[in-house]
Amino acid sequence: MNTLSKDELKRLAEEQAGLCVSIFMPAHRVGPETQQDPIRFRNLLRDAEERLIAEGLRVPDARKLLTPAQKLLADGFFWRHLSDGLALFLSPNVFRYYVCRSLSRNVWSSHLVSTSSRSCLCSATMAGFTFWL
């Protein structure tokens, strides 16, 4: 998995692809809480799907957009190596996710559906991530 860097954020901000989804969530390295991480992620995906539909996307199109992220739910390796958190960016042309190391436990799970890739990136700050662009 990739680590989110300043250069990656710049590349993501340059993407122009209509509706985009960003998901940010803390994760657990060890312990029984690790079993809850996929459940939290599934709930965030469900919320994102509802938001995409509310933005006017048809149900099949919303599900198709979220399919790459949905596939992560069955990836045991992904969940065992998630570290402290996850930042995920998704649009019709982009699917990228990043491990966030040394993430504060104060970060809350969030998602954003927007027509602007910059808005999706700005929500990282609202979720408690700190990036310098």
Q: Give a three-class secondary structure readout of the chain.
A: CEECCHHHHHHHHHCCCCCEEEEEEECCCCCHHHHHHHHHHHHHHHHHHHHHHHCCCCHHHHHHHHHHHHHHHHCHHHHHCCECEEEEEECCCCEEEEEECCCCCCCCCEEEEECCHHHHHHHHHHCCCCCCC
Average pLDDT, the chain: 76
Range(s) of the domain holding residue 56: 2-126
Do 96 and 87 form a contact (C-beta atoms < 8 A)? no
More confident residue, 131 or 36: 36
**pLDDT 10s digits, 99-115:** 777 555 555 555 565 54
pLDDT at 53: 92
The answer to whether residue 132 sits within a structural domain is no
Residue 20 sits at φ, ψ, to 5 deg, of -135, 160
Note whether residue 16 is domain-resident.
yes
pLDDT tens by residue, 10-33 = 777 777 667 888 888 888 777 777
* 38 falls within a domain: yes
Determine, yes or no, domain membership for 110. Answer: yes
Residue 60 has pLDDT above 90, yes or no: yes
Please indicate, yes or no, if residue 78 is contained in any of the structural domains.
yes
Per the domain annotation, does 71 fall within a domain?
yes
Tally of domains in the chain = 1
With respect to residue 33, please indicate whether it lies within any of the assigned structural domains.
yes
Task: Give the pLDDT confidence of 74-100 residue by residue, as tens digits.
Answer: 998 888 888 788 888 888 888 988 877
In a domain, 114, yes or no: yes
* pLDDT tens-digit readout, 45-59: 999 999 899 889 999
- Residue 65, classified by CB atoms within 10 Å of its CB into exposed (0-12), middle (13-18) or buried (19+), is buried
Q: pLDDT value at position 75?
A: 92
Which tops the pLDDT comparison, 38 or 105?
A: 38
* Residue 68: pLDDT over 80: yes
CATH of the domain at 72: 3.30.960
